[in-house]
Structure 1
Amino acid sequence: MSYREKIERYKKQQLTEEETKEVEAEIEKTEAISDYLADRLMDDLDEDFFAKDGDEQADTKEKMEQSTASAKEFEAYVKKSIHRSFRRMGMVVGGAVLAVVLFVQFGMSPLMSSLYYNPTKTDMVETKSGDITYETSYSQIGMDFHVYAELGLPCKGSDNLQAFSNGYGNYQILITPSISFGTKRGTATAGQIRKGKLELYNPNYLQGPPVNYFAGYGLDRDRDFVSQMKENVVEEDGELTIYNQWFYGTLEDGQEAIAELEDDNTMYQAYVSFDRPKTFTEVNEILNSLKEQDAWPSLVWIAVYGSEDGGVTVGYDYDTPQSMTPVSLNEKYPELSLYEKEGYDDADYENVKKKMQDESVMTQHLVSMLRYMGDQHKFVNMMEEYTSGIFDKSIADYIEENGISSYGFSCIATKADMQKMLEMDDIIGIVPESWN
């Protein structure tokens, strides 16, 4: 066995005890010889150095001092580089932090707002009158809520709706009800929109009309409603069994409810039912007849069939021509705004009042409102908690094909006004509610 092989076996602990002792003795001897030779080498170098003459020693000393100086310069350079690197790193980190802060403050809020419904989005429209230029502002929620309310919130429209941004998709809103002849400003309602979700402090404000407030709900449209109401009341052993779906059990119950109201000037929201479906012209004749009897219902909203079975209730305002949408939208939604000019104009206002007596115009107006609302996906999704179904495309298609047919109307009226309505042959029942 060679000595190299013996060493390899020693490292692997494969030697006998005797062989192991021999190798360790050799290692100890080799280490002692190595130490001795190292000491001899250092002594020889010292003798050689001090054997040189004085000039060589001075030169060597100078070189050592230069080396020391160079080492110090290098140390200083290294420290300076490190400090510079840290400064650069600090600037980069500081810049990154500043960028994040600026993004959070000025970038994230608009980005978050773009992801959700933004009620404060505004369209500015300029109009000229002679040498004067006027600016009209249309807020997104002002337009959307106006159309929404005219379609499904009788007597609860607003001509003054404000929204205030809190940043990051959050907003405060204030809805102030419209006023009309004989009415006063109703109680405003407020709330907040948080990332596309509406939270009203008075959620009942957005409650639409219950369909069974109108007597014709669920009845055959081809027959008069009075006879059908009577057919749905069966008397057995002095007890009445009522099968109709109207809010009151019988027409007499509804008349008694009106008679029991206080004889003062309290105003109610009245849901007025016709004796059968009425055409656009017939509805106008009924309302004109009421004025001749010195009955002046306000904020009149006409309920319109939105489907063949009558299960969908939509409508339009009869006597409150408001300019809450820009005229430019009429290019996509004809007659969405009944006005032809931006800003108020006496002649244009009178023209709108004439349009509201034109069945073809009001049919198109109703259809365009439904189609406009169907395109406002974020707004509609936000309102789904309060209502659903009135913006379905099929409703617009049905009205466009079949025209306007009505089974009643809602309005703001006094007890005296409602009693005059019940004297008319065309009106068979009224459900009153406290207004505001």
Structure 2
Amino acid sequence: MTYRELLELYKTGELELEQRKKVEKDIERQEAISDYLYEQEDIPELNDIFEEKAAAEKNNKRNDDIEDIDTKFIEMVNRSIRRAFRRMGLTILAAACVLILFVQFCLPTIVSCFYYNPAKNIGDKDYAISKMSRDMAVYSEVFLPGKRRGSVQVEAKGYGNYNITVNQTSSFTGSLTDVSGEITRGELRYYDNNIFKKPATNVFVYGSIAGKEENTVEENLKYTRKYFDVKDDEEINLCAAGSKEESLKTLQELDERKMYIGYVSLDKIMSYADFKKYVDKQDLAEVWCAVQVAELEKEEEGVVNFQSNIPNIGFVCNPSYNTAIKWDEKKYPNLLPGCETQDMGNEDEWDDPEENLKSESNARQHFVSLLNYLSNQKKFLAMMEKDNSNYTTKELKEMVSYIKKNGIKVYGFTTIADKETLLKLSKQSEVYEIYTEEVR
């Protein structure tokens, strides 16, 4: 291999570490030699040449002597020009090498700093974990009931570009569905947009009625008819499940062999303590509770419009699996069920999720930490909520203030279950109706 070919491999970053160091050492040595030669061989003062020529003419030297001086002057100038071009060439070569190395190794990283970096390692050298794993674990618990994910593999491509795979590590159907996509300078695109769709605003009945917090759904439907001036022959229950009768009919027609995400509307809004007592008596898998997160604007006679204040935000109150993700426990206490990465080998450090979230104070602390964490992830939140202005840092902070002041009020919950379990739930007095989606 010629040295020129070696330099080409150096430019493209294809050399092994030892060869790359040798080429860099050669370049440094060549620069040092060029600097030395330049200092030793300065272009001679032109005035000295002209003075020498004038003296020769004054002393009546022969013409051929004068011509010799002219020739000497020209040769000196030519030699100096060649040296100057040689130095310029070496300088340009060195600058080109530096520029190539900068573009190859530094520029992609610098550009990436201006955008969300999902590949940042929040673990340690022994157990690396991407930042997006933690961000996604929090985000999916708050906004994606039944679709919680806490593992994201990231491949950095430079210039703010990344390939991502959101892994499913636990399943109720017996099959795992990973979701792939790409992040291009803060823009997220999934190759399958259907997996992580948020639930519609009206999957719970409280997203489409008005009334009083202490009333049952039927009592509030009467208020709704009056509040919106709905005629007697017009439908007022605009829940995705339809009326209570329509919801039951849909449940009866479900496939017994499949699993479903059930969006269960409670007949009355419950305190967390009452809700936890109720749900702990059920034989259910992971349960996500939908929480009221904003003050309801009261109209005449204490009637409120639930529609603008029920954003389908909540948290998992009995996780079906734990995770080992590192976070700042002082800043975000009780953020995620499980333990931090450095303690994952110690069984005593793992949380007991059911015990941990039984008390309202622990559940409130957990939910507040989730909201606080998201409000501080501005780049991630802007990427995930690009088309939604309701979940800005300001709105999330306001939700935190409301929860701290009023506690946790639950108006519905989701669980993943089969047809038989959902039908059994629908017959309970605490449940008004259930909307379902097939688990993918």
TM-score, normalised via structure 2 length: 0.75
Q: Cα distance, 1:432 vs. partner?
A: 0.7
- The partner residue of 2:220 within 216, 228, 252 is 228
Q: Cα distance, 1:95 vs. partner?
A: 2.4
8 Å contact kept, 1:314–1:390: no
Which of the pair is proportionally richer in strand? Answer: 1
- Matches of 2:102 and 2:294, distance apart in 1: 50
* Counterpart residue identity of residue 151, structure 2: N
1:248 is matched with: 241
2:431 is matched with: 427
1:257 is matched with: 250
- Matches of 1:109 and 1:245, distance apart in 2: 50
2:168 is matched with: 177
1:271 is matched with: 263
8 Å contact kept, 2:134–2:150: no
1:301 is matched with: 288
User: Within 5 A, what are the aligned runs for 1:114-153?
Assistant: 114-125=113-124, 135-153=126-144
2:382 is matched with: 381
**Cα gap change, 1:337/1:406 in structure 2, threshold over 3 Å: closer, same or farther?**
same
- Identical-pair percentage: 29
Aligned-residue CA RMSD (Å) = 2.4
| Secondary structure of 2:202 counterpart | helix
Bigger mean CA deviation after superposition, 347-356 or 299-308: 347-356
User: Within 5 A, what are the aligned runs for 1:63-78?
Assistant: 63-78=62-77
Paired residues in the alignment total 358
User: Within 5 A, what are the aligned runs for 1:393-412?
Assistant: 393-412=397-416
| Secondary structure of 1:211 counterpart | coil
1:195 aligns with 2:185: yes
- Matches of 1:352 and 1:429, distance apart in 2: 28
Q: Cα distance, 1:308 vs. partner?
A: 2.2
**Cα gap change, 1:233/1:257 in structure 2, threshold over 3 Å: closer, same or farther?**
farther
| Secondary structure of 1:119 counterpart | coil
Q: Cα distance, 1:300 vs. partner?
A: 1.9
Q: Cα distance, 1:216 vs. partner?
A: 2.1
Q: Cα distance, 1:228 vs. partner?
A: 2.5
Listed as ranges, the gaps of 5+ residues in structure 1 are 1-58, 127-134
8 Å contact kept, 1:160–1:176: yes
| Secondary structure of 1:247 counterpart | coil
8 Å contact kept, 1:207–1:386: no
8 Å contact kept, 1:367–1:396: yes
Listed as ranges, the gaps of 5+ residues in structure 2 are 1-58, 227-231, 297-308
Q: Cα distance, 1:319 vs. partner?
A: 2.5
Determine which structure has more spread, i.e. the larger CA radius of gyration.
1
1:211 aligns with 2:210: no
8 Å contact kept, 2:317–2:363: no
User: Within 5 A, what are the aligned runs for 1:225-374?
Assistant: 225-229=217-221, 240-262=233-255, 264-291=256-283, 296=284, 298-309=285-296, 310-320=309-319, 322-327=322-327, 329-339=328-338, 342-374=343-375
8 Å contact kept, 1:304–1:315: yes
* Counterpart residue identity of residue 368, structure 1: S
TM-score, normalised via structure 1 length: 0.76
8 Å contact kept, 1:161–1:175: yes
**Cα gap change, 1:324/1:383 in structure 2, threshold over 3 Å: closer, same or farther?**
farther
| Secondary structure of 2:315 counterpart | strand
Deviations 1:117-172 (A, max 9, x none): 0100112347xxxxxxxx33231111111111111111112132111111100001
